[in-house]
Amino acid sequence: MDSRIGKLYPTTKFMITLLVVIISIFTPGYVLQYIMFPAFLIISLMAGTTKQFLNAFFKSIFIIILFIFAMQVFIITNEDQTPIWGFIHFSQAGLATSLSMTSKITAIASAIMTFFETTKVKDITYALEYAGTPRKVTFLISSTIQLIPQMSSLSKTITDAQKSRGIETEGGLMTRIKAFVPMLGPLVLSSIQQTEERVLALESRAFSAKGKKTSIYVLHKTGLDIVLEVLSVILLMGYVVWRVM
Amino acid sequence: MAEIILKNVNYQYPLEEKEVVCDFTYCFEQGKVYGLIGENESGKTTLCNIIRGFIPELYRGKLEGEILINGRKISSYDSGELASIVGYSFQNPFVQISGVKDNVYEEIAYGMENIGVPREQMIKRVDELVKMFHLEELVDKNPYELSGGQKQRVALASMIALDPEVVIMDEPTSQLDPKSTEDIFEIVNILKKQGKTIILIEHKIDLVAEYCDSILLMHQGELVMHGDAKDVLTDPKVLEYGGQLPQIVLYFLKQGKLKGNEIPLTVKEAVEKILKEAQR
Amino acid sequence: MKRGLKYDFSLMALVLIPVGVSINVVGYQMSQILKLPVFIDQIGTILVSMITGPWVGMVTGLLGNVVNGMIYPTAFGYAIVSMLVGFVSGFLSRWRWYSNVVGVVIGCALLNVVSSVSAAVVTVFMFGGVTGAGTDLLTAAFVASGQALWDSVLTTNVISGTVNTIVNFAIAWIIVRRIPDRFLVKLNYGLPYIKKKGAKING
Amino acid sequence: MAYLELKNVSFQYPNGYTAVENVSMEFEKGEKVAIIGQNGAGKTTTVKLMNGLLRPAKGEVLVGGTSTEKYTTAQIAKNVGYVFQNPDDQIFQDSIYKEIAFGLLKSGMGKAEIDKKVKETATLCGLENVLEEHPYNLSYSKRKFITIAAIVVMDPDVVILDEPTAGQDRDSTERLGKIMNWLTAKNKIVITITHDMEFVVKEFERVIVMAKKQKRRDASPKEIFWDEELLKFSNLKQPYICQFASLLGYRDVLTIDDMIGVTE
């Protein structure tokens, strides 16, 4: 995230992402969309986030793409199908649907993944606040991002505490099901109990104070940001004109 | 001048029949350190919540009586304003932090951000606080990943960032080890020197004796004893109300040679006194 | 009583939303650790919606998918499902359906219909009928037996969804019943779950 | 023969941090032992090794002469009960009664017997009048007694208390002393981690000092609190009365009575 791309202003990256999403949805065919995958792979290489990019891609998108092909081309009934074996057949129309659908998924997912992998949540919330988003909204985003790993590690402590009073977490299905509420219950009860104090802690920090808020963390747009943003807008307008005409 | 006046304050939590604070009348003066002592569930925390205005705003329930801060009714303050007059720190270090900031530096600034302090001013103030509370090594760390004592120090710094005139600390050291406890009391000393009014709930009575000017003893919701530390903490009646006395006081009471406020409260005072008498 | 959005989004509710999202995540992690054969990822959303109402429940659902989507973008597609679960569950709670057995049974069925149908819409129109999970085999079997894609996906969702909804709901319900009255009184939608008889919120 | 034994135990966290190095200790039935030391000295790691939550990288842990290596924590828990520092890590029932009875319900014990045991333990822990209350209706410090009761009721041979004195008032601290004595009278082993030196002086005859990942000394309070070099090394402080005595030039004083004795 400390790369050149990581340091771009979030809005800049968001505009580029949005541009890619719009173009991917409204351009017919699939070649341009598929090109987005290697394109964003290169971008993530430059940003040093290739590992996350490929990991997320193969864990979620790739399987879906494979399944879509399998389902649409070989299983779903189409008029042009030629039988292969049993219920399996080949359909040209199904192939066309798959290509169109998977290419869009690939392009949009690649853009979104790259956006989040190269942009700190902190920068996103800063940009949101700067653009006038209420603090309550950015509060939700940052506190959720911060809280999840904490709750996750707290759940490990709770599991230990429950093991120490004789709750088995291994064994038959019934044993494991029985362990669920004792493991999750303390987490929920204690965190709900803590929300009360958390509210007080936030109030102690003038959370509900009216008036303008400031930020000690700042981000600045650079010349590059401006250039890229203007370019995105021009491209988008050009694209709209070209598509409509 | 910060002055807090409570007149005949009564409070009852929702769903409860018993009053948690009954007929509480007291005047807290500027610049003194108050030790609020008494057994658990005697109403100490509730009282502090009343002074901070969390009761009845967030807790609902039934509150009677009058609470004046600097001569103005507490209900006439808005919550942002109150946050910069009365600072509050909690017993549990784990919920002290805002939970939205990923480093200590910004955590300290959070309250100032909320009241719209200009950035340059914030930076100056945070730098000051980091120095004052010895947080140099922690500034880049995630507040969630600090130890209990470190969290407590950061929370205090964040509270002081708003420069409140009154500071309430609810058992700030109960979950801490002796070294971290010392660090916290060091901070109490710093704040005292800055002329802040401090209300400290604390069970570690030997430390209370060392740092507090005045003592308030609560028992079942009532203020049963109050006065200078020297007067209250040398009175065996404290024990009858479930309170505690410093070890040194217990020694002198048992020994029986000294009476009333002649009894020293701390090890240091006791040793000085004995050596002085030996010289004579 | 006037129940505007501002009334629903008290600071307490605001603080509960991240907790709800985290419970979703941790609940899922725990079901993985315990190797339970169900998909448990909505406990937090249901729980929060029960005690804070439909709008806060909806935001909890949305935020959960946004956070997930930051890593696996397909989650953005299903945000509508979680939002609906939180929203509907919040209304059921407001209407006090959760305070009696009949209401709970019908409520669960309704939740299941809502989540199955909305998930089927997303699955069919955005992802061509697949989800990338094992249940796709079931869908494929239905399709192969001659059913239309839409029917197949919906049937799969209802079948796998019923167990999931019941388990998610049951755990959320068990835990809500254990939240202390002291805390419930502070919540705008906590009243139906207070155990003390004749309880009233004063002030 | 010792009932609970740690033999040259070392432990390393997965991130490579060594928390405990070559620690050996033995506990006889009916013993009451305090473990003291600064945070990070390895106290909690050591007791977690005792009940199998953590497994030694080197050395072994023996309970009743048998190595615990092949047993799960839940199985070891029957003999070695461990009360966590934070009570909220384990409370999940909506009444104190249910919370205390939870462990017994799984053991197949009869209803009447469970009821008797729960009430007896609750009385010991000062909870007899609040059994039907929600655990969270009690203060944090009182909730600690619920978790103590939930472990004690299971009748383990060893009870480990992790900082039970934190945040307790005078009466509660006295009650802790009472609970510990009740346990040792039943020939149980009680191991307590604490930062409260006055509590150590009052309640214990055997104290283990841990510092910098190792056991540094295992002796009587008097020996420990007058071993100035050890205290300095371990970053510990003498109890107030000892400080007082020391400044006046006395030695080996531990209690107020001792002090009165030497000054008379």
Per-residue pLDDT reduced to its tens digit, C104-156: 999 999 999 999 999 999 999 999 889 888 888 899 999 888 888 999 999 99
Confidence at residue A230, expressed as pLDDT on a 0 to 100 scale: 96
Is the minimum CB–CB distance between A136 and chain B shorter than 8 Å?
no
What's chain D's average pLDDT?
Answer: 93
Shortest CA gap B129–chain A (Å): 15
Per-residue confidence (pLDDT) for residue B1, from 0 to 100 = 53
Tokens of A39: 């394109």
Nearest to D53 among A164, A185, A186 (CB): A164
Question: Residues of A with CB below 8 A from B88's CB?
Answer: 200, 204
Angle (CA) B222-B227-B233 rounded to 5° is 90
Same domain assignment for residues A36 and A101: yes
The answer, yes or no, to whether residue D262 has pLDDT greater than 80, is yes
Sequence-distant (≥ 6) Cβ neighbours of residue C153 within 8 angstroms: C120, C123, C124, C129, C139
Contact A210/B80, CB-based, under 8 Å? yes
Same domain, A32 and A151: no
Same domain, yes or no, for A101 and A22? yes
ipTM of the complex: 0.89
What pLDDT score was predicted for residue B15?
75
Domain with C49 in it: what CATH number? Answer: 1.10.1760.20
- A-B interface: how many C-beta pairs under 8 angstroms? 107
Q: What's the gap in Å between the CA of B115 and the closest CA on chain D?
A: 32
Whole-number mean pLDDT of chain A?
91
What pLDDT does B2 receive? 64
Residue A214 domain-assigned (yes or no): no
B177 touches chain D (CB under 8 A): yes
What residue in C sits closest to D95 (Cα-Cα)?
C178
Residues A77 and A157 in one domain: no
In a domain, A48, yes or no: yes
Report yes or no on C52 lying in a domain.
yes
CB contacts of C181 in chain D (<8 Å) are 134, 137
Q: What is the pLDDT of residue B41?
A: 86
Q: Would the pLDDT of C4 be above 80?
A: no
Domain count, chain C: 1
Kindly list the residues from chain A whose CB atom is less than 8 angstroms away from the CB atom of residue B158: 205
Separation CA D251–CA D264 (nearest Å): 15
Overall average pLDDT of the D50-73 stretch: 93
pLDDT tens, D143-161?
999 999 999 999 999 999 9
B–C interface: beta-carbon pairs under 8 A: 26
Q: Are residues A115 and A226 in the same domain?
A: yes
Residue B25: strand, helix, or coil: strand
- Chain A residues with CB inside 8 Å of D104's CB? none
* pLDDT band per the 50, 70, 90 thresholds, residue B176: confident
Domain assignment of residue A217, yes or no:
no
Determine whether the interchain pair A166/D84 forms a contact, defined as Cβ–Cβ distance below 8 Å. Answer: no
User: Which residue in chain A is spatially nearest to B116 when comparing CA positions?
Assistant: A213
pLDDT at A1 > cutoff 70 = no
Cβ–Cβ under 8 Å, residues B24 and B9? yes
Domain of C103 in residue numbering reads as 5-193
Partners of residue C144 in chain A, C-beta under 8 Å: 75, 86-87
Cβ <8 Å between A205 and B111: yes
Residue C106, in any domain of the structure: yes
Provide mean pLDDT across the span C186-198.
Answer: 75
Residue C202 belongs to some domain of the structure: no
Chains with at least 3 CB pairs less than 8 angstroms from chain A: B, C, D
Pairwise CB contact (< 8 Å): B255 & D263: yes
Q: Is residue A195 part of a domain?
A: yes
DSSP string, chain D: --SEEEEEEEEE-TTS-EEEEEEEEEE-TT-EEEEE--TTSSHHHHHHHHTTSS--SEEEEEETTEE-TTS-HHHHTTTEEEE-S-GGGT--SSSHHHHHHHHHHHTT--HHHHHHHHHHHHHHTT-TT-TTS-GGGS-HHHHHHHHHHHHHTT--SEEEEESTTTT--HHHHHHHHHHHHHHHHTT-EEEEE-S-HHHHHHH-SEEEEEETTEEEEEE-HHHHHT-HHHHHHHT----HHHHHHHHTT--S--SHHHHHHHH-
Residues A22 and A115 in one domain: yes
| Closest chain A C-alpha to D76 CA, distance in angstroms | 8
To the nearest whole Å, the CA of C35 is away from the closest chain A CA by 8
Contact B133, B156 (CB under 8 A): yes
Domain-embedded: residue C72: yes
Q: Could you read off the pLDDT of B134-145 as tens digits, one per residue?
A: 899 999 999 999
C chain contacts of residue D134, beta-carbon cutoff 8 Å: 178, 180-182
Nearest to A165 among D72, D93, D150 (CB): D150
Best of B180, B267, B268, B275 to substitute, by most chain D Cβ atoms within 10 angstroms, is B267
Q: Domains in chain A: how many in total?
A: 2
Confidence bin at B58 (pLDDT 50/70/90): confident
CB contact under 8 A, D260 and B246: no
Residue D75's CB: how many other CB atoms inside 10 A?
14
Q: Is the pLDDT of residue D212 over 50?
A: yes
**Given the structure tokens 């710094």, which residue do they identify?**
B157
More confident residue, A109 or C184: A109
Chain C residues with CB-CB distance to A202 below 8 A: 11, 15
Position B105 pLDDT exceeds 70: yes
CB contact under 8 A, C130 and A189: no
Range of the domain at A150: 133-204
**Shortest Cα distance, chain C CAs vs residue A216, angstroms:** 23
Top-ranked range on mean pLDDT: pick from B82-86, B275-279, D38-42, D95-99: D95-99
Across A111-140, average pLDDT:
93
The pLDDT, as a whole number, for residue C3 is 62
Smallest Cβ–Cβ distance between A147 and the set C11, C18, C174 belongs to C18
- Residues in chain A with CB shorter than 8 Å from the CB of B80 are 206, 208-211
Q: What phi and psi, each to the nearest 5 degrees, are found at residue D104?
A: -70, -35
Q: Is it the case that residue B238 has pLDDT exceeding 80?
A: yes
Cα distance from A211 to chain C (closest Cα, Å)?
A: 17
Q: Report yes or no: A171 at the D interface, CB cutoff 8 Å.
A: no
Distances (CA, A) of D17 to A161, A162, B144, C49, D11: 22, 25, 20, 42, 9
| CB < 8 Å to C201, chain B | 14, 60
Kindly state the tokens that stand for B249: 């006081």
pLDDT value of position B95: 79
Q: Specify if C117 maps to a domain.
A: yes
Average pLDDT over residues D109-129: 95
* Residues of chain D contacting residue C182, judged by C-beta atoms under 8 Å apart: 134, 136-137
Q: Do D137 and C180 touch (CB under 8 A)?
A: yes
A139 and A111, same structural domain? Answer: no
A97, A30: one domain:
yes
Whether A103 has a pLDDT exceeding 60, the answer reads: yes
- Based on the domain organization, do A63 and A139 belong to the same domain? no
Contacts of A162 in chain C (CB under 8 A): none
| Interface contact C22, partner A, CB < 8 A | yes
Query: Could you tell me what percent of chain D has a pLDDT over 70?
Result: 100
Where residue C198 falls among pLDDT bands split at 50, 70, 90? very low
Q: Over the stretch A42-53, which tens digit does the pLDDT of each residue have? A: 999 999 999 999
pTM of the predicted structure, to 2 decimals: 0.90
The predicted structure's pLDDT at residue C199: 46
Q: Has residue C196 got a pLDDT over 70?
A: no
Q: Do A73 and A147 have their domain in common? A: no
Query: Is some CB atom of chain C closer than 8 A to the CB atom of B56?
Result: yes
* Residue D88 sits at the chain C interface (C-beta within 8 Å): no
A190 contacts in D (CB within 8 Å)? Answer: 88-89, 91
C9-68 residue pLDDT tens: 888 899 999 999 999 999 999 998 888 888 889 999 999 999 999 999 999 999 999 999
Question: Residue B211 — very low, low, confident or very high, per pLDDT cuts 50/70/90?
Answer: very high
Residues A111 and A65 in one domain: yes
pLDDT band of C200, cuts 50, 70, 90: very low
Report yes or no on A179 lying in a domain. Answer: yes
pLDDT digits (tens, 9 = 90+) for B251-267: 999 988 888 889 999 99
Higher pLDDT, C195 or A206: A206
